[in-house]
């Protein structure tokens, strides 16, 4: 996501001169104090979540591509510059688990790599409109959730990242066969900028629903939102 | 008779606008008098003061869907331009002054809220149009007649016949309805390229679907520009879209 806070504030101010800015709060300016327009947009976004949940099918697969279609060089994207990507010490790394999970022992990168692996060449579509094709490899999330004894009747799977980013997805999408906990990108271990040591790769959702540099995975029925979702982006954001 | 088109911003333009306003109110007045003098008969047609049969120019379902569509189009285009600006397809962006939302997240929220009004209202219009015989007014569509009447229209010699669509109107209305169908299909293809993949494929894939969506928008904006310009030139066409209007048959 390229829009940083200052640019957005600038746009807000620029809007103040626009005729449309006269519509009160038509821009989600203050999510903590929603006005009438914000509440309308929230209600419609909730409705769109339900519609997307109804449209979602576990058997509908995201399109896959051939190796020569891979976007090269890959495109970095975050709410900060590439030089600020968090570097996680892989030797001491443990993926923390929480919520409705039987075995909450942390997972080292070695243990994750010892699980059955799979590769996918899929398309990542950014909420901004652009798209890239990449190859990701890792552990199928549905396999992992079953292995740790997660209660898959729960509604949400939530993620926290080393850079403070966070997001959450619906359980149906989490159990989709193409949803993986990725440890590799373009045939190489992940680099910090592209999500090392572990990222979610979910080709049935928009790019910002693919959190990088994961440090925590939780399962539960409490809605935990997300970094962009809490600012007004649609939560389900399915493709 | 030739007619000089006033340049916007000049005094001639404002004088013409004032004249247009006066014509507007004369029209409203005529409509009101026709309604007062007329008596509604069983079939919903009215008998005018002179004993002639009178019908409504624009039936209410047309007026309601027209204005709801106008709201939806303004919201969709304004928010769509803001979304475009996040990842432009061409070497330009739309200035924030004419976009809706202020930033990408809000623009998407508006876009995906008002798409329901656009689509549901559009379905209602097509259902009414098919059931009422309204679409017969778009027929025939002969390219030669369109070109001939377009030539007349561009030289301001095409007479506006109340209650009838001329060939240029028929062409423009059918064209914008087609653009409306294309913009909804490409929009759904961009929104859900996995679950609604058939719409995406129909547009030639996700990448091309964004261009299809853009050009359908361009066609609609072009239509709106001509549509509004023509209403300014022939202002008596506006009141019937509000009141329904009355015409002797």
Rounded mean pLDDT of chain B?
85
Whole-number Å distance between alpha carbons of A28 and A12: 10
* Same-domain status, B130 and B236: yes
Please indicate if any CB of chain B lies within 8 Å of the CB of A75.
no
Q: How far is CA A22 from CA B94, B100, B246, in A?
A: 19, 11, 37
Quickly state the pLDDT bin for B22 (edges 50, 70, 90): very low
Listed in sequence order, the residues at least 6 apart from A58 whose beta carbon sits closer than 8 Å to its beta carbon are A172, A175, A176, A177
Task: Kindly tell me the sign of the dihedral angle through the C-alpha atoms of A33, A236, A189, A76.
Answer: negative
Q: A70 near A63, Cβ under 8 Å?
A: no
* Within a domain: B249: no
Taking alpha carbons only, the member of B31, B72, B67 closest to residue B180 is B72
In A, which residues are within 8 Å of B99 by CB distance?
18, 20
CA distance A121 to A132: 10
Region B55-74 average pLDDT = 96
Q: Please give, rounded to a whole number of angstroms, the shortest distance from the CA of B142 to a CA of chain A.
A: 39
Task: Please check whether residues B115 and B81 belong to one and the same domain.
Answer: yes
A45 touches B at CB < 8 Å: yes
In the predicted model, is pLDDT for residue A162 greater than 50? yes
Average model confidence (pLDDT) across chain A: 90
Q: What is the distance in angstroms between the CA of the first residue and the CA of the last residue of chain A?
A: 17
pLDDT at B87 over 60: yes
**Measured distance CA(A191)–CA(A193) in Å, rounded:** 6
Q: What is the pLDDT of residue B158?
A: 87
Rg of chain A over Cα atoms, rounded to whole angstroms, equals: 18
Chain B residue with CA closest to A234: the answer is B109
B197–A60 C-beta distance less than 8 A: yes
- Decide if pLDDT at A114 tops 60: yes
- Going along chain A from its start, the domains and CATH numbers come out as 63-231 (3.90.420.10)
Nearest CA in chain B to A59: B195
Question: How far B112 CA lies from chain A's nearest CA (Å)?
Answer: 8
Mean pLDDT of all residues in B239-248: 92
CA distance B70 to B242: 13
In the stretch 116-155 of chain B, residues with CB closer than 8 A to chain A read 116
Tell whether B173 and B71 lie within a shared domain: yes
Q: What is the pLDDT of residue A165?
A: 97
**With contact defined as beta carbons under 8 Å apart, do B119 and A51 qualify?**
no
Is B101 in CB contact (< 8 Å) with chain A?
yes
Could you tell me if residue B247 is inside a domain?
A: no
Strand ranges, E, within B37-171: 39-40, 46-47, 53-56
- Assess A119–B contact: CB distance below 8 Å, yes or no: no
Q: Is A55 on the interface with B (CB under 8 A)?
A: yes
Q: What's the pLDDT at A3?
A: 43
Q: Does A152 touch chain B (CB under 8 A)?
A: no
Are A128 and B87 an interchain contact pair (Cβ–Cβ within 8 Å)?
yes
Q: Please answer whether residues A120 and A180 qualify as being in contact, where contact means their C-beta atoms are separated by less than 8 angstroms.
A: yes
Q: What is the CA radius of gyration of chain B?
A: 21
If you average pLDDT over residues B115-141, what whole number do you get?
95
Q: In terms of domains, do B29 and B81 share one? A: no
Domain that holds residue B12: 1-55
Specify the number of domains making up chain B.
2
Domain presence at residue B245: no
Q: From the list A18, A60, A129, which residue is nearest B83 (CB)?
A: A129
Judged by CB atoms closer than 8 Å, whether chains meet at B99 and A20 is answered as yes
DSSP B247: E
Summarize pLDDT for B203-212 with one digit per residue, the tens: 999 999 999 9
Residue B153's pLDDT is 87
* pLDDT score at B135: 93
Residues in B 210-239 with any Cβ partner in A closer than 8 A: 210
pLDDT over 60 at B1, yes or no = no
Long-range contacts of B173-182 (CB under 8 A, 24+ apart): B173/B138, B174/B138, B174/B141, B175/B219, B175/B223, B176/B219, B176/B220, B176/B223, B179/B216, B179/B219, B179/B220, B179/B223, B180/B122, B180/B216, B180/B220, B182/B212, B182/B216
> In CATH, what number is assigned to the domain containing residue B66?
1.20.950.20
Which among A19, A26, A238 has the least Cβ separation from residue B195? A238
Query: Which of B158, B65, B43, B192 shows the shortest CA–CA distance to B118?
Result: B65
B44 within domain boundaries: yes
CA gap B27, B135 in Å, rounded: 26
Task: Outline where B133-196 has alpha helix (H).
Answer: 143-154, 167-191
Q: Is B97 on the interface with A (CB under 8 A)?
A: yes
A231 CB neighbours in chain B (<8 A) are: 105
B161: Cβ contacts below 8 Å, ≥ 6 apart: none
The structure tokens 């962009």 sit at A228
Q: What is the pLDDT of residues A53-73, one digit of tens each?
A: 999 999 999 999 999 999 999
The partner residue sitting opposite B105, judged by closest CB among A56, A228, A238, is A228
User: Are B46 and B102 found together in one domain?
Assistant: no
Secondary structure of residue B119 in the 3-state scheme: helix
What average pLDDT does the segment A143-153 reach?
98
- Residue B95 is assigned to a structural domain of this protein: yes
| Cβ proximity of B115 and B80 under 8 Å | no
**B145 in the same domain as B34:** no
Examine residue B248 and state whether it is found in any structural domain, yes or no.
no
Tell me the per-residue pLDDT of A180-218, one tens digit each, with 9 for 90 and over: 999 999 999 999 999 999 999 999 999 999 999 999 999
B229 and B136 fall within a common domain: yes
Same domain (yes/no): B102, B39: no
Give the per-residue SS3 of B224-237: HHHHHHHHHHCHHH
B36 and B94 both lie in a single domain: no
B125 and B18 within one domain: no
Considering the domain architecture, whether residues B40 and B130 belong to the same structural domain is answered as: no
* B47 part of a folded domain: yes
Work out the average pLDDT over B53-60: 91
Q: Give the closest of A11, A15, A239 to B193, CB-based.
A: A239
Q: What is the pLDDT of residue B139?
A: 85
| Residue B1, in any domain of the structure | yes
Say yes or no to pLDDT of B44 above 50: no
Are residues B208 and B159 located together in one domain of the fold? Answer: yes
């Amino acid at each position: 996501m390229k829009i940083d806070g200052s640019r957005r504030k600038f746009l807000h101010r620029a809007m103040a001169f626009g005729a449309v800015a006269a519509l009160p709060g038509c821009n989600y300016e203050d999510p903590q104090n929603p006005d009438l327009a914000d509440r309308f947009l929230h209600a419609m976004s909730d409705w769109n979540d339900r519609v997307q949940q109804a449209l979602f099918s576990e058997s509908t697969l995201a399109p896959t591509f051939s190796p020569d279609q891979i976007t090269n060089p890959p495109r970095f994207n975050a709410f900060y510059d590439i030089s600020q990507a968090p570097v996680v010490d892989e030797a001491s790394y443990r993926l923390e688990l929480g919520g409705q999970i039987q075995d909450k022992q942390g997972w080292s990168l070695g243990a994750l790599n010892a699980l059955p692996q799979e590769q996918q060449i899929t398309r990542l579509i950014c909420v901004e409109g652009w798209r890239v094709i990449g190859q990701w490899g890792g552990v199928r999330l549905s396999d992992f959730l079953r292995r740790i004894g997660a209660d898959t009747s729960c509604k949400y799977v939530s993620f926290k990242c080393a850079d403070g980013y966070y997001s959450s997805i619906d359980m149906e999408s989490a159990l989709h066969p193409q949803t993986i906990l990725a440890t590799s990108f373009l045939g190489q271990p992940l680099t910090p900028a592209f999500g090392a040591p572990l990222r979610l790769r979910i080709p049935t959702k928009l790019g910002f629903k693919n959190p990088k540099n994961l440090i925590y995975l939780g399962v539960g029925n409490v809605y935990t939102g997300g970094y962009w979702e809490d600012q007004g982006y649609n939560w389900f954001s399915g493709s | 008779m030739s007619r000089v088109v006033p340049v916007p911003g000049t005094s001639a333009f404002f004088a013409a606008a004032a004249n247009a306003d006066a014509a507007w109110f004369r029209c409203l007045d005529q409509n009101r008098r026709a309604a007062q003098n007329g008596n509604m008969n069983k079939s919903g047609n009215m008998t005018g003061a002179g004993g002639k049969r009178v019908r409504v120019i624009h039936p209410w379902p047309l007026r309601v869907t027209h204005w709801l569509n106008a709201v939806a189009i303004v919201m969709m285009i304004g928010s769509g331009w803001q979304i475009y600006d996040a990842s432009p397809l061409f070497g330009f962006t739309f200035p924030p002054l004419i976009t809706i939302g202020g930033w990408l997240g809000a623009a998407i929220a508006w876009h995906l809220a008002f798409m329901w009004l656009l689509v549901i209202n559009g379905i209602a219009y097509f259902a009414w149009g098919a059931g009422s015989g309204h679409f017969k007014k778009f027929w025939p569509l002969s390219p030669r007649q369109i070109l001939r009447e377009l030539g007349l229209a561009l030289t301001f010699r095409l007479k506006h016949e109340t209650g009838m669509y001329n060939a240029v109107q028929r062409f423009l209305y059918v064209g914008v309805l087609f653009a409306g169908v294309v913009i909804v299909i490409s929009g759904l293809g961009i929104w859900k390229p996995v679950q609604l993949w058939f719409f995406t494929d129909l547009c030639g894939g996700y990448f091309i679907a964004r261009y299809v969506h853009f050009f359908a928008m361009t066609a609609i904006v072009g239509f709106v520009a001509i549509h509004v310009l023509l209403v300014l030139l022939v202002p008596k066409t506006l009141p019937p879209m509000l009141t329904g209007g009355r015409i002797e048959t």
